[in-house]
Amino acid sequence: MRALLTSLTVLSAITLSSAAFAATMTTGTVKAFDAKTMTLTLKDGSHYLLPANFKNPGLKIGEKVKIAYDMVGKKHQATAVTILQ
């Protein structure tokens, strides 16, 4: 019984910790990109904070992008931005 409980506890911890690090993905069209404030806004009005080491892949207004992000409080923290073809 003790071994079963220990196994379930370990399995629960692994599952919860991996879920916490899973980024959410979205796609959209760029409405605005501000390199100074490191923010990206999509046409649907959602705002994403870009990481300090973000390298602009050539973002332009009207371009379709895929964004991987994590929720930090009530803010979207982008982890990756990819231009879609």
43-57 pLDDT, tens digit each: 999 999 999 889 988
Count of CA atoms in the C-beta half-sphere (13 A) of 71: 7
Q: What is the mean pLDDT of each run of 10 residues along the chain (85 residues)?
A: 45 47 88 95 96 90 96 94 91
**Domains in the chain with CATH codes:** 23-83 (2.40.50.320)
* CA 1, chain centre distance (Å): 40
Q: Identify the pLDDT of residue 85.
A: 84
The pLDDT mean for the chain works out to: 82
| Reported pTM | 0.71
Helices in 1-85 by DSSP H: which ranges?
Answer: 2-20
